[in-house]
Amino acid sequence: MKVSVDSFNVRGSGFVLDRIKNCVIVITQFRPLAGSTYIPTPPSIVRKEAVINVKNNDERCFEWVILSGLYPPKDRTKINPFRVSSYTKYRDTLNFDGFSFPVHLKDIPKFEKQNPQISVNVISLDHDSKGFSVDYLSPERHRPHHINLLLIQNSTTQHYVYINNFSRLVADRTAHKGETFVCNSCLNTFSSQRVLDSHIPNCLLHEPQQVVYPDPDDCKLKFSDQHKHPLNFYLVCDFECFLTPVDDVLGPDAKTHIVDEHQVSGFCCYRVSSLPQYQTPPTIYSGPDVMSRFYEHIMSESETINDILSQQIPLTSMSADDRRRHHAAITCANCNSTFTHQKSANIYFQPATIVIYN
């Protein structure tokens, strides 16, 4: 086999290209994530009053938005935080040597390297989940100045805005009415800084992620076909347990310690049947060797039910009213699907009322 494969690779397949019947070339313009000139903030974000969107007319929005986070106006009645002129006197405080504008996401690590007092995180709107996604998470989380940015976009450009109140921005992720503390990695909210600080070391063990909550109308699991194949018999079981202490000696590196374990003390098993003549009272047991007794009871019930269902009972003849309802039916009694011409013509059976079925 190996010789044959080597020979095939050396000689080739022997196939000859005759003609090319069709060739399709798809060209798509690549637009990397980068902030550029001003675009309006989406109304859903404006209502939260959680961001500062500087109205620049150049491609240096990353520079202006960093300055808006570092030097917020102390008196908004005198200085407009949305104007570029409020930050021009601070331009020399940032090092943009070797940068071209607009600044892309891939350029942020370089910015953090040249500005060692600043760390930057970037999130963007996630329209699929109606929330946010983490686009860049800074590894330099202990620096004196931390700036959270929101990257917004329209059909032609993208733009950075400064998040001056992260709690308000993600307020719809919690029912808590007061201020919350947000994890920059997973965007979960916490009620106190202490709880957030205990969460962060575990969260940073993973890549940035987010929890996506379902819509209120889709958050419940529903079964629509529970009556498609009805059961004549089923068993409902319940167990009772008590806790017993465990003397478990674990190694020095163990992260968990077992204190108690559940010991089964008894069970109750109830046969439920749509056939009243086969309904029985619940079986209750409490004592030693519970699981063995339970297994024996289940196997006994299985044999009894199989014997019942194996009985050959003659079919009851259809009455005139049964035949009338059968011929007038337009949907299947099991799946509720509407009968089509093909189904009614090709699939026909002699109807009967089955007294016992599985």
Which regions of 274-337 does DSSP assign to beta strands (E)?
283-286
**Tens digits of per-residue pLDDT, 13-25?**
567 777 888 888 8
* Residue 207: band (very low, low, confident or very high) from pLDDT cuts 50, 70, 90: confident
pLDDT at 60 over 70: yes
User: E strand or H helix at 69, and its extent?
Assistant: helix 61-70
**Site of tokens 């998040």:** 163
Question: To the nearest whole number, what is the mean pLDDT of the chain?
Answer: 83
Amino acid at the residue 145: H
pLDDT at 62 over 70: yes
Q: CA 314, CA 220: separation in Å to the nearest integer? A: 43
Predicted TM-score of the model (pTM): 0.54
Q: CA 329, CA 325: separation in Å to the nearest integer? A: 6
pLDDT at 244 over 70: yes
**Tens digits of per-residue pLDDT, 280-313?**
999 999 999 999 999 999 999 999 999 998 888 8
**Tens digits of per-residue pLDDT, 140-166?**
888 999 999 999 988 888 899 999 999
**Residue 155 has what pLDDT?**
81
Q: CA 280, CA 272: separation in Å to the nearest integer? A: 8
* Residue 351: band (very low, low, confident or very high) from pLDDT cuts 50, 70, 90: very low
Average pLDDT, integer, range 246-255: 72
